[in-house]
Structure 1
Amino acid sequence: MKTFDLSLYLVLDPVLCADIGMVETARAAVAGGATIVQLRDKHASTAAMIETGLALKQALAGSNALLIVNDDVEAAIAIRADGLHIGQEDLDAGEARRRVGPEMILGLSVETEALAAAIDANVVDYVGVGPVFATPTKPDHKHPIGFDGLARIIKLCPVPTVAIGGLKAEHAADALAAGADGLAVVSAICGKPDPETATVLIAQAIKEARK
């Protein structure tokens, strides 16, 4: 049985993180309470992803935070990342599982109830559900689903869920009330002058919402 904590899931954005860098942003966020860090860079080569991923792995060593690689199976395997996250337009989930093996955590993005109902819990370990709100960090995203849509989709998911899409500290209570196991954030941490403090605020909001 794989164990992982989706509470506060940071998705790194190379553009937003440019001033501080992805590695330093991740280090600060984990110090502030981030439980998972995802390396997402749609324009990087596999070699560049591996280089950044290894630096991230070193930065997160000694913490309990897990490192997930977005979309790039080869990089995830080479880094020996804790997991791989794929979207609906990426590799098929069954094929991804075959390539990464049984031990690696596999996450999948889900935007509709039909996709949620089709999840195979023997293949996928968790799903990212959204976008809850429209967000500039992913201009090609699907139509925002809101908290009502989030709740409907989560109800059909046979695996743990993390809500994503324009979420900030003030949305923690609504996201968890909709059934999400955690919040995935990008701009609420990436690009902030003090990523650690920004993370602490979200972590506190999640803790409060769980009381």
Structure 2
Amino acid sequence: MTISPSFPYQLYLVISEKDCLGKDFLKVAEQSILGGVDIIQLREKKASTEDFLVKALKLKDITDKYNIPLIINDHCKVAEKINSAGVHVGNNDRSPSVLRDQQFLQDKIIGYSIEYLHQLENEHTKVSDYLGISPIFRTDTKKDTVTEWGLDGLSQIRSLTDKPLVAIGNINLSNVSSVIKAGADAVAVISAICAAENPEKAAFELKNQILK
């Protein structure tokens, strides 16, 4: 696969305490990095700002230790307070074009989830550093999405934009190679690592499939 110079990350972990199914999410994060995860997003949709901040600070200690970028899902105040590598937003969050005007985010990573093809033409896509293509396959982890893209949808998006594409949605060891071949620059996973008995091994095996 060709690595995008503007987004040189291939295995992207989206993590929350809930998705780790009782395991220490900080240990899961560290094990995933040791296994090959290149970038991590903290996604805590139901946490209070205070709780989110506490978790983010603890996780950033780990990501900084290994020089791994930490992305914060949606919560820009938390992102700024911990000086994260960037933020990721969806269609119901603050738009990338508004976020890019904020001083803190002018030189940070902004990810933007795509649910419709027409979004490829809007101003938010233009100022984003990567596009989250969600979901590739239906998943119980995220139920508020509109389009199930599938491999054909991902290929179509690849043909329409040069932006780095991060595919997410029920991606696992059995289908990750197909997702990369369909045009993803990176794959984002939740359950495939967070719910794994051995997160380090799960990350290692996924990374190996991506690099094949």
Among 165, 170, 179, the residue aligned to 2:169: 165
TM-score, normalised via structure 2 length:
0.91
SS at match of 2:166: strand
Please state how far the C-alpha of 1:101 moved relative to its aligned partner. 2.8
Among 188, 193, 207, the residue aligned to 1:189: 193
Q: After the TM superposition, which of the residue ranges 127-136 and 97-106 deviates more from structure 2?
A: 97-106
Which residue of structure 1 lines up, in the alignment, with residue 44 of structure 2?
A: 41
SS at match of 1:16: helix
Which residue of structure 2 lines up, in the alignment, with residue 102 of structure 1?
A: 106
The CA distance in 2 between the partners of 1:62 and 1:138, in whole Å, is 30
Superposition pairs of residues 52-131 of structure 1, within 5 angstroms: 52-99=55-102, 100-120=104-124, 123-131=127-135
Letter in 2 for 1:102: Q
Q: After the TM superposition, which of the residue ranges 129-138 and 109-118 deviates more from structure 2?
A: 109-118
- Kept in 2: contact 1:168–1:185 (CA 8 A): yes
TM-score, normalised via structure 1 length:
0.92
Please state how far the C-alpha of 1:119 moved relative to its aligned partner. 5.0
Which residue of structure 2 lines up, in the alignment, with residue 150 of structure 1?
A: 154
Q: Report runs of 4+ in structure 1 exceeding 6 Å deviation.
A: none
SS at match of 1:188: helix
The CA distance in 1 between the partners of 2:164 and 2:59, in whole Å, is 25
The CA distance in 1 between the partners of 2:7 and 2:161, in whole Å, is 17
CA distance 1:150–1:35, shift in 2 (3 Å): same
Identical-pair percentage? 34
Which residue of structure 2 lines up, in the alignment, with residue 132 of structure 1?
A: 136
Which residue of structure 1 lines up, in the alignment, with residue 54 of structure 2?
A: 51
Pair 1:180-2:175 in alignment: no
Please state how far the C-alpha of 1:130 moved relative to its aligned partner. 2.0
Pair 1:6-2:9 in alignment: yes
Give the unaligned 5+ runs of structure 1. none
Please state how far the C-alpha of 1:121 moved relative to its aligned partner. 5.7
The CA distance in 2 between the partners of 1:47 and 1:3, in whole Å, is 32
Letter in 2 for 1:157: T
CA distance 1:186–1:119, shift in 2 (3 Å): farther
Larger % of helix: which? 2
The CA distance in 2 between the partners of 1:161 and 1:70, in whole Å, is 17
Give the unaligned 5+ runs of structure 2. none
For the aligned residue pairs, the C-alpha RMSD in angstroms reads: 1.6
- Kept in 2: contact 1:117–1:157 (CA 8 A): no
Number of equivalenced pairs: 207
Please state how far the C-alpha of 1:21 moved relative to its aligned partner. 2.3
Q: After the TM superposition, which of the residue ranges 146-155 and 169-178 deviates more from structure 2?
A: 169-178
